[in-house]
Amino acid sequence: MSTTECGTDLKLVKASAPAQAGLAEALVFVRIKSAWRAIRNRIATGPLSELDDHMLDDIGLSRRDVVVALDRSGALDDPSLLLARAARTRARTRFARPPAR
């Protein structure tokens, strides 16, 4: 099926009540799944604080990054997003050459 054929299959009519109920159930399922993933990642982040500084440095993090990620994220927030951002930032600046004079 080409893209143009797929584009003509849009239904531009109002969804019926059973379809809206299915959409609501799907939305609830997505939110529960997201909360479960955040809780699971928060539990997995806990043992990072037990690693020594050299091990954390090997994965591109510092102890401060772990503490900040756990403090700034709520009970249902995903701290792994903050940790990934910190590791990416450190990777960009870690081996950067100083500006030429």
Distance from C-alpha of 63 to C-alpha of 65, rounded to nearest angstrom? 5
b/e sequence 41-54, b meaning 16+ C-beta within 10 Å: bbeebeebeeeeee
Q: Which amino acid is at 77?
A: D
Cα–Cα distance, 30 to 27 (Å, whole number): 5
Asked whether residue 46 is assigned to any structural domain, the reply reads yes
Q: What is the per-residue pLDDT across 56-73, written as a single tens digit (0 to 9) for each?
A: 998 889 999 998 988 888
Is residue 79 a contact partner of residue 61, using CB atoms and an 8 Å limit? Answer: no
Q: Which two tokens stand for residue 25?
A: 């159930």
Mean pLDDT over all residues of the chain? 80
Q: Please check whether residue 6 lies inside any domain of the structure.
A: no
Q: Could you list the residue range(s) of the whole structural domain that residue 40 is in?
A: 20-94
- Window from 15-29, 38-52, 65-79, 85-99 with minimum mean pLDDT: 15-29
**pLDDT computed for residue 12 by the predictor:** 52
Q: Count how many domains the chain has.
A: 1
Identity of the amino acid at 26? A
Q: Is residue 65 part of a domain?
A: yes
User: Would residue 99 count as lying in a domain?
Assistant: no
